[in-house]
Structure 1
Amino acid sequence: MTQRIAGFDYQRVTVADEVALNVAVGGNGSPIVLLHGFPQTHLMWRHVAADLAADHTVICPDLRGYGASDKPADTDGQTYAKRTMGADIVALARAFGHDRFALTGHDRGALVAIRTALDHPDTVTHLAALDVLPTLDMWEVMHGTTAAIGFHLYLMAQPPGLPEQLISASADTFFGHFLDIWTRDPRAIPADIRATYLAASRNAVASIVADYRASAHIDVEHDRIDRAAGTVLRMPVSVLQQDWGAALGFDARSLWRAWAPDLHHETVTCGHFMAEESPAEVTKALRDLLNRQ
Structure 2
Amino acid sequence: MAELIEGSDGVRLAVDVTGSGDPVVLLHGFPQTRRMWRHVAADLAADHTVVAADLRGYGDSDAPVARSADTYAKRTMALDVLAVADALGLDRFTLVGHDRGALVAVRAGLDHPGRVSGLVCLDVVPTLDTWAVLHGVSAAVAFHLYLMAQPPGLPEVLIGAAPREFFGYFLDLWAKDPAALADVREHYLQASAARVPSIVADFRASAGIDLEHDTADRAAGRTLAMPVGVLQQDWGAQLGADMAAVWGAWAPVLEHRLTSAGHFVAEQAPEEVVALVRSVARLGRQDPPPSAVGR
> One-letter code of the match for 1:39?
P
> One-letter code of the match for 1:62?
D
Distance 1:232 1:80 in 2: 22
3-state DSSP class of the match of 2:184?
helix
1:220-272, Cα deviation, whole Å (9 max, x unpaired): 00001100110000000000010011111000000111100000000111110
Distance 1:207 1:13 in 2: 19
Q: Aligned residue for 1:270?
A: 261
Specify every segment of 5 or more residues in structure 2 that has no aligned partner in the other structure, as ranges. Answer: 287-295
Shift of 1:16: 3.0
3-state DSSP class of the match of 1:30?
coil
3-state DSSP class of the match of 2:249?
helix
Shift of 1:81: 0.3
Q: TM-score, normalised by structure 2?
A: 0.95
Q: Aligned residue for 2:270?
A: 279
Q: Which of 5, 11, 32 lines up with 1:40 in the alignment? A: 32
3-state DSSP class of the match of 1:208?
helix
1:247 counterpart = 2:238: yes
1:141-169, Cα deviation, whole Å (9 max, x unpaired): 00111100000000000000000000010
Q: Which of 214, 226, 237 lines up with 2:217 in the alignment? A: 226
Q: Pairwise mapping of residues 33-112 of structure 1 onto structure 2 (< 5 A)?
A: 33-112=25-104
3-state DSSP class of the match of 1:155?
helix
Q: How many residue pairs are counted as aligned between the two chains?
A: 284
Shift of 1:281: 1.2
Q: Pairwise mapping of residues 1-293 of structure 1 onto structure 2 (< 5 A)?
A: 10-190=2-182, 192-292=183-283, 293=286
> One-letter code of the match for 1:242?
Q
3-state DSSP class of the match of 1:76?
coil
1:47-100, Cα deviation, whole Å (9 max, x unpaired): 000110011100001000000000000011110000000000011001000121
Distance 1:18 1:260 in 2: 32
Specify every segment of 5 or more residues in structure 1 that has no aligned partner in the other structure, as ranges. Answer: 1-8
Distance 1:47 1:74 in 2: 33
1:206-226, Cα deviation, whole Å (9 max, x unpaired): 000000000000000000110
Shift of 1:17: 3.1
1:7-28, Cα deviation, whole Å (9 max, x unpaired): xx62101113331001000000
Q: Report the identity percentage.
A: 60
1:121-160, Cα deviation, whole Å (9 max, x unpaired): 0010000000111100011000111100000000000000
> One-letter code of the match for 2:273?
V
Computed over aligned residues only, the root mean square deviation of the Cα atoms, in angstroms, reads: 0.8
Q: TM-score, normalised by structure 1?
A: 0.96
Distance 1:102 1:18 in 2: 24
Is the contact made by 2:8 and 2:76 (CA closer than 8 Å) also made in structure 1?
Answer: no
Is the contact made by 2:27 and 2:55 (CA closer than 8 Å) also made in structure 1?
Answer: yes
> One-letter code of the match for 2:108?
T
3-state DSSP class of the match of 1:259?
coil
Distance 2:9 2:99 in 1: 26
Shift of 1:284: 1.0
3-state DSSP class of the match of 2:117?
strand
